[in-house]
Amino acid sequence: MSKISKERKVTYYIGIGMGILGFILFISVFFSFTSVMDDPFEATLPSFSNAIVGMLLIIGGSIVASIGAKGAAGSGLKLDPEQAREDLKPFNEAAGGMISDVISNIDAIDHITKPQLPKETIKIRFRNCKGLNDEDAKFCKSCGQEI
């Protein structure tokens, strides 16, 4: 199984960090707005630039995290199909492993849900009592005489 490079891991975590920082900046506007409501005469209205910067950091962080997770070609940033396959190889191998597990479970479930049909048997009618018996029977089930 191929491993994800350290650079991609660092890029992913930087993107996550940017998203968290953006979320904190975005939420800080609402907390400062509630402090304005407590004493409206002394405080000024909050600057909404923190919210805009926060949203930009959230969007940028998600893009950077996606590039870190999928690689430059896998995320569509670089148009190289061969490199995209290589970048997405860990995810494809994981999905392939899950698919083979599901297929093996389907075979097991199929065996449980579809009952086995009874084996077809041929019956013969005994001349004396007209009773039905299996074709390999040596004695009649009805009267007990030898067939």
Digit-coded pLDDT (tens) for 14-70: 999 999 999 999 998 877 655 555 555 555 555 788 889 999 999 999 999 988 887
Q: Considering the chain, what percentage of its residues have pLDDT values greater than 70? A: 59
Burial 77-114 (b: 16+ CB within 10 A, else e): eeeeeeebeebbbbeeeeeeeeeeeeeeeeeeeeeeee
Residue-level pLDDT at 1: 45
Whole-number Å distance between alpha carbons of 112 and 29: 58
Residue-level pLDDT at 5: 78
Residue-level pLDDT at 137: 85
User: Tens digit of pLDDT for each residue in 84-137?
Assistant: 667 667 666 655 555 555 555 655 555 555 566 667 778 888 888 888 888 888
Sketch the domain layout of the chain as residue ranges.
Answer: 6-113, 120-147
pTM above 0.75, yes or no: no
